[in-house]
Structure 1
């Protein structure tokens, strides 16, 4: 289904636009109306190179890291053999590769091949017209948040006809648009039982949307409407380094709202001149424009919470996001599942978290529920994120572990009303 707008009214046309694009492209090529494709246009064939002999030094270095650090899943020995399907080192020897039936049956070689060609495309030096993002949304056009394709179309993005363009753009936009999809009045996530949003989740989102859509609440006065929306991103890393024009795509979804993005964590601020993460005893403020501000806090959230730096919290104005936090991961659980989680739940504001895959997210949610179950309400049951990245990634320490950023999402909040025994 495709949504078209005419004088502000939606018109539905039951057709597969991707199929139509490909058919029209074939016809135009056949009639000589289009120039022949450039040899620089990305294809699976011209973007495939074994990482050991890659034209990119970065990928040759990653191949060396895999050989030095990863272990063969069959023999447990070092990795010395490059999978001919994916072009990535995966096994100790050809014999081990041939004997790994689970690897071949899982379809992982093809996914690893996609990860390979996406990385080569980003380093190919080709033009990237898909990064020319649109500006303000016209008031007579409605944004459709059903999926990536309809979002791109109704926002007027460059027509992305290939998987390479989608991979490059969705990885970058997954962070702001995931936030936008949760907050938007036409969110793709509906109320239980058909959707993942719980009744408590509906209450939290209704409060936030009251602030985000002031034109619908003009008869009611509120100080919330005079304050910026505060989006706290805890454990911020790569998302804190995204350019302003990328995060501006979130603000364009709510054109009447001022937004403050608070990046919190030891890796939240990267000094490009020093080429290192830096810490600061005071917040680092960067104003993108009059409607969007970045504020970097380079310590743990509970430190600022205990100092009351963020007080008062307001469920109408404040929302928290933790992208791939690793609540249950051995290396990061101690940092999350103590003072930081207790401080988060004390805010009584909505908290949303994402995972690299379903298992990763459910493990995190189980850790939170098992530790703080009586102190929280679920707002959103774990579900596949409509606006997760489509770009496949791999873990260099375990090259058979493939994932996508923000693939699954869930939400919870500190319990507002505690049961009273009578």
Structure 2
């Protein structure tokens, strides 16, 4: 990971130098006053030109408590533009808030949200299409991925925040499965020997022309199960297609599983269906929505048979260890997941959240688990800062840490 950071810096510097030279020679037009900057994207939320951000400010005032007084929040931090304290006096007394410069991250939350609502052109959302046959994608980090994949040159934090939040889900999956994955085998990396076995099986399917024999199991698409699906199930097809472009010889079915995976966008409410809802993007990519919990389908054998060469599970910040969801995850659902013997990867919004989730799983099912990937920083986590409205001093980024495990596969014993 440190190597990834070092590799990123020269490219950024080179682009900056090239941009400076082009501007000096008059080859580029002068910057537009509408181009996003921290200055022109900053508005206090309770006075925001965006109505939904004014509503969020009101929600914070109604739900959150001042970290100093424990009372309701009535004061908007002038540095971040977000309601954070009961009064100006409480804000001034909060030494931890000022010494840690928490307001700097909160300000980023503010300006990122206003940029998305600014109405500016978003050329960074013009994603590249099929991968050229003679081009190799570098998966070391976001910067090299964008550069070698020929994305629009994203030179500002605003462009990165907007695109990485959207692409974090498909490219996180791709970075784990890719043969040029940035995650290495122990001790240099977080992948365990058991993890290498599971990934080798999946890559056998993903790269058929590199195998001497044709896999007999390639009679159906590879299934990517995304459990507890929410925001990831709302991403449009062209976003998930970026995953399929990286494995052009493979057809995928994305199975979104959970009561919040299917939304009626007109009525803004969740939908349920007694049968799977299928939406096909093209002949190589299909979405399948299952609106109940995984264990329901597992017990009914709807997903049988499972195949470690063709099936893999992802749980994006599921909250295995969160008090409000532990029982829901760790009883029938986790037992069913481990029973599949397929690889399971999970992410967290922080290191502590991911470790808490893994500890909860190990405490309940430790004897039945093989660790595939030790907890590590997710190279393809979102760079956009998010805010917890119930606690406005709690900020996070999606998919910041990642780990993997599976149900233990016992070796045959001679008797």
Shorter-chain TM-score: which interval? over 0.9
Over 3 Å counting, the alpha-carbon distance change for 1:14 and 1:22 in structure 2 is closer
- CA distance in 2: counterparts of 1:18 and 1:29, whole angstroms: 17
1:4-403 aligned at under 5 Å gives the runs 16-217=10-211, 219-403=212-396
- CA distance in 1: counterparts of 2:319 and 2:222, whole angstroms: 26
- CA distance in 2: counterparts of 1:193 and 1:419, whole angstroms: 28
- CA distance in 2: counterparts of 1:165 and 1:240, whole angstroms: 22
5+ unaligned residues in a row in structure 2: which ranges? 1-6
Over 3 Å counting, the alpha-carbon distance change for 1:92 and 1:419 in structure 2 is farther
**Misfit runs of 4+, over 4 Å:** 418-422
| 3-state secondary structure, aligned to 1:79 | coil
Q: TM-score, normalization: structure 1? A: 0.95
Q: CA deviation at 1:28?
A: 2.5
1:408 to 387, 401, 405: 401
- CA distance in 1: counterparts of 2:117 and 2:70, whole angstroms: 32
Q: CA deviation at 1:101?
A: 1.5
Residue pair 2:374, 2:403 contacting (<8 A) in 1 also: yes
- CA distance in 2: counterparts of 1:297 and 1:284, whole angstroms: 7
Over 3 Å counting, the alpha-carbon distance change for 1:90 and 1:420 in structure 2 is farther
Measured against aligned partners, the alpha-carbon deviations of 1:278-311 in whole angstroms (never above 9, x if no partner) come to: 0000000011000000000000000000000000
Over 3 Å counting, the alpha-carbon distance change for 1:374 and 1:421 in structure 2 is farther
Over 3 Å counting, the alpha-carbon distance change for 1:15 and 1:306 in structure 2 is closer
Residue pair 2:8, 2:143 contacting (<8 A) in 1 also: no
Q: CA deviation at 1:25?
A: 2.0
What is the RMSD of the two structures over their aligned residues, measured on CA atoms?
1.6
Identify the residue that residue 3 of structure 2 maps to in structure 1.
none
- CA distance in 1: counterparts of 2:214 and 2:147, whole angstroms: 36
Over 3 Å counting, the alpha-carbon distance change for 1:413 and 1:164 in structure 2 is same
Q: CA deviation at 1:421?
A: 12
Residue pair 2:8, 2:141 contacting (<8 A) in 1 also: no
5+ unaligned residues in a row in structure 1: which ranges? 1-12
Measured against aligned partners, the alpha-carbon deviations of 1:363-396 in whole angstroms (never above 9, x if no partner) come to: 0001001111001010000000000000000100
- CA distance in 1: counterparts of 2:253 and 2:413, whole angstroms: 37
- CA distance in 2: counterparts of 1:65 and 1:122, whole angstroms: 20
- CA distance in 1: counterparts of 2:321 and 2:236, whole angstroms: 30
Q: TM-score, normalization: structure 2? A: 0.96
- CA distance in 1: counterparts of 2:216 and 2:296, whole angstroms: 27
Measured against aligned partners, the alpha-carbon deviations of 1:320-352 in whole angstroms (never above 9, x if no partner) come to: 000010001111112101100000000000000
